[in-house]
Amino acid sequence: MSVATIISRNVGKAGFYALWVFVCFTAFAVVQTAMQANARTFFAFSRDAGLPDRGLFARLSKQQIPLWGVWIVVVIAVIMGLLQFASAVAVNAIFSLCAVALDTSYAIPIACKLFFRDHPEVNYKPGPFNLGRRGGAFVAWVAIIWTTFEVIILIMPTLYPVTATNMNYSSIITAGVMLLAGLWYLVSARKYYDGPRTTLDNPAIKSAHERDEDDMDTESKHALAN
């Protein structure tokens, strides 16, 4: 690991172990945050019928945790980690994809709000604090332009001449995922996916505890009726 080597050569073995504890703790905290965010994403898309999982990843445990969503994130992360044994190029592509995909996901809703705010199905209404129509549009354009510039920089190869081993494949993976998601939406998802849904009175995402209580209430009603 290049980072570990640099630290060890500059601060010595004892200093390296002292600093590496904080590095590991930071990495652990970042991974936990990323896992929570990804599990929440799986939960939300499953809840809104945006995934072909029949609401599996939206099911909550008795502790109100989307365990299926958490475990699918863990499994995907393990598979990506195992790519290191198959191809370092593939692993580097996945890691470099993180910033590109994340920043792109920020820019897309900003652009949609900018271009479709007056659409009759949207009818965007600003909150109590806003910069006005022109001020909001200016900030949105700055965000879109800067994100576009940043993404272009991040997808550029870092070495020249470009070969199969030093090529930055994050752009290809990002475009491929967006293309597949778009095709799936046009072919199937658009027929039933209509955006975020309320979690109230939705039996598909009730926790196991709530489902048990509902079953007990139903049994009690039947007992009283008999």
Any domain includes 115: yes
Any domain includes 95: yes
Q: How would DSSP label each residue in 95-153?
A: HHHHHHHHHHHHHHHHHHHHHHTTSTTT-----SS--HHHHHHHHHHHHHHHHHHHHHH
Q: What confidence tens digit (pLDDT) does each residue in 59-79 have?
A: 888 888 888 888 988 888 888
Q: Let me know the angle formed at the C-alpha of 144 by 141 and 145, rounded to the nearest 5 degrees.
A: 85
Query: Which domain does 125 fall in, by range?
Result: 87-168
Determine the residue type at 97.
Answer: L
Any domain includes 180: no
Q: What confidence tens digit (pLDDT) does each residue in 97-125 have?
A: 777 888 888 888 899 888 888 887 777 77
pLDDT of 28 higher than 50: yes
Number of domains in the chain: 1
Any domain includes 149: yes
Structure tokens at 74: 């863990």
Any domain includes 161: yes
Any domain includes 125: yes
Any domain includes 178: no
Residue 96: band (very low, low, confident or very high) from pLDDT cuts 50, 70, 90 = confident
Any domain includes 79: no
Helix (H, G, I), strand (E, B) or coil at 2: helix
Cα 223 to Cα 47, 215, 218: the distances in Å are 33, 12, 9
Q: What confidence tens digit (pLDDT) does each residue in 162-213 have?
A: 777 777 777 788 888 889 888 888 888 777 777 777 665 555 445 444 544 5
